[in-house]
Amino acid sequence: MSKEKRTPFPEDAHQNRPQYYSIAKSVKLSPDEYTAIEKLIPESSHQFRRMVKHVAFNPDTQTTQLCIACASVNLSDVARKYNSLIEPAGFCVACYKPPYRINNRFGERSNQYLWGLYRIGEV
């Protein structure tokens, strides 16, 4: 069995490597921008409404903070199911692994992500 070095990038990735590591910046909306997005979300989508409201004014929110703010434990499921509602406005809710370590209360590495509202063309 050969021990080939496997890479998740194409062969010419060394020429374009920065594109693989660039992270879009989450945006902080003005109240007017938020109102336009809020109109696209049905009244019955309570968790997603709370999620969008929180990340619209608090970019790069840690997972636990967002879980508390929107009363949801499965954030990625909520975002995946309802992101299509705010796509016409050019936004989506997404998360990324932070470039720094986030520990839990026991000092162990946690599986926290940073959540935000992103412009679709920049993700």
pLDDT at 10: 42
Which tokens in the block code for residue 78? 């909520």
Q: Is residue 1, in this structure, part of any structural domain at all?
A: no
DSSP-derived 3-state class of residue 68: helix
CA distance 95 to 51: 12
Look-up of token digits 């009244």: 43
Q: Is residue 5, in this structure, part of any structural domain at all?
A: no
Q: Is residue 108, in this structure, part of any structural domain at all?
A: yes
CA distance 121 to 123: 6
Q: Is residue 71, in this structure, part of any structural domain at all?
A: yes
pTM recorded for the entire structure: 0.76
pLDDT at 117: 94
The structural domain count of the chain equals 1
Q: Which domain holds residue 90?
A: 23-122
DSSP 87: G
Contact 116, 93 (CB under 8 A): yes
Q: Which residue from 27, 21, 22 is spatially nearest to 115, judged by alpha carbons?
A: 27
Residue 84, domain CATH:
1.10.10
pLDDT at 15: 43
pLDDT by 10s per residue, the chain, length 123: 445 544 343 444 444 434 444 467 889 999 999 999 999 999 999 999 999 999 999 999 999 999 999 999 899 999 999 999 999 999 999 999 888 889 989 999 998 999 999 998 765
Q: Is residue 110, in this structure, part of any structural domain at all?
A: yes
